Structures are given as C-alpha cells and as structure tokens.
Amino acid sequence: MAKGPLQNKIFLSLLGAVAFMFLFSFMLVPLYNVFCEVTGLNGKIYGPSDFFKKNNETYERQVNIRFLSTVNGSAPVTFYPTETNIEVMTDKVSKTSYVATNNTNKKLTLSIVPSVSPGLAAENVKKIQCFCFSEQTLGPYETQEWPIRFYIDSELTENVNNVYLSYTLFETEREEALALNHEH
C-alpha cells in the first residue's frame, strides 16, 4: 500500500476538514443569530439596524398594531391580549397588556417568546417594558395582567401599515411538559 508523506498529508487534511465542519455546524448557531440581528430577519427583536434602510426621511404617521397570543403545546394557561387592535402614532409610547391565568393548582414558571410580523418591521418595534423580557411566574389559579410599553419608531418602512406583535407562551418546567407530551 502507498504509505507515504503524501498519503498522510491528505489523510490529515481531510480529518481536519471533518473537524472543521463539525465545529462549523455549531458556529451556525451564533452566525444565524448574528445574521438575523443584522438583517432584522425572522422577526427577531434586537437593537437598531440600518441594513435595509433606504433613506433617512422620517415622518410621523399612524400604524395599526395587532396583538396575537399562542399557548404552546399543552401549557395549562389561558393567555390573551386585552386589546387585539390599536392605532398608534410613530415615536409615541403606547401601553397595553396581556392577561394570563394559571388553570392548575401548581405554581408555574413561564417564558413568553415575542415575534414581529412582517419580519422587516421587527427592528422598528421598540419595547420599553415587556413581560417577555424575563420569566414570569403564576401561583395556583392566579390571574395576572402583564403590561407592555412600546413605540414604533418612525423609520418603519413606509409600505408597512400593519404590524403584528405575537407572543407564544411556553411552560419552562420542561420535565412536566415532556411528560405530558409523551402520553400518546
């Protein structure tokens, strides 16, 4: 068999390629997040971005905001917005709220994941206060009203007049959620 420096070199460089691609698959996680953050894609809400900014003309106008709520899987919670639809002026802070009720006799830890649609409007939704910033807890059969304060900055692309704010509520006690899912 041809055992020689050439063979070892090719073998080792291929092995290196394998190791690199394995690490690369994990690098895709931060790369994806950075990409979404830079471009404002996928409805992720982060800091300001000028990736898709066409011009600096800004003017105040009215935007229609709709609120959606989703309870993930089998989480035993009732969760809905107090207002489904409000008109806001750009750059003016508005306040609304969501209501959540625990339907069990146990304490629940919940996390609520936001999403904005259309995705390109995500960077223009500025939240000052939100229940999605941290985990929430609900005592047995407790009902809480969770406020949101936000404004839409006036750099919002002019062809966007309707913005959907969607919140998905997850039960963070994973073990319990898993057990429920397995009862087929």
Partner 1 sequence: MSAVVENHDHHDDHHGPKKGIMRWLTTTNHKDIGTLYLWFSFAAFLLGGAFAMGIRAELFEPGLQLMDPIRYNQLVTMHGLIMIFGGVMPAFVGLANWLIPMQIGAPDMAMPRMNNLSFWLLPTAFTILLSTAFMEGGMPGFGWTFYAPLSTNYPNVAYFVFAIHIMGASSIMGSINVVVTIMNMRAPGMTLMKMPLFVWSWLITAYLLIAVMPVLAGAVTMLLMDAYFGTSFFDAAGGGDPVLFQHVFWFFGHPEVYIMILPAFGITSHIISTFSRKPLFGHASMVYAMVSIAVLSFVVWAHHMFTVGMPLVAELFFMWATMLIAIPTGVKVFNWCATIFKGSITYETPMLFAIAFVVLFTIGGFSGLMLAITPADFQYHDTYFVVAHFHYVLVPGAVFSIMAAVYYWLPKWTGNMYDEKMGRLHFWLSFIGVNITFFPQHFVGLAGMPRRYADYALQFAEWNAVSSVGAFLFGFSQLLFLYIVVKTVFAGKKATPQVWDGADGLEWTVDSPAPYHTFDVPPKING
Site residues, partner 1 (CB under 8 A):
1-2, 4, 6-7, 10-11, 14-15, 17-26, 28-29, 32-33, 39, 41-43, 72, 111, 113, 117, 119-120, 168, 170-172, 174, 178, 181-182, 184
Q: Find the shortest distance in angstroms from Cβ 143 to partner 1.
A: 21
Nearer to partner 1, 81 or 114 (CB): 114
Nearer to partner 1, 43 or 81 (CB): 43
Q: Find the shortest distance in angstroms from Cβ 89 to partner 1.
A: 27
Nearer to partner 1, 76 or 86 (CB): 76
Q: Find the shortest distance in angstroms from Cβ 33 to partner 1.
A: 8
Q: Assess contact for 65 and 163: CB atoms under 8 A.
A: yes
* Residues 161, 134: Cα–Cα separation, whole Å: 29
Phi/psi zone of residue 27: left (φ > 0), alpha (ψ -120 to 50 degrees), beta?
alpha
Q: Assess contact for 114 and 166: CB atoms under 8 A.
A: yes
Q: Assess contact for 100 and 143: CB atoms under 8 A.
A: yes
* Residues 179, 182: Cα–Cα separation, whole Å: 5
Nearer to partner 1, 82 or 104 (CB): 104
User: In Å, how far are 51, 66, 96, 171 from 41, measured between CA atoms?
Assistant: 10, 19, 25, 26
Q: Find the shortest distance in angstroms from Cβ 95 to partner 1.
A: 26
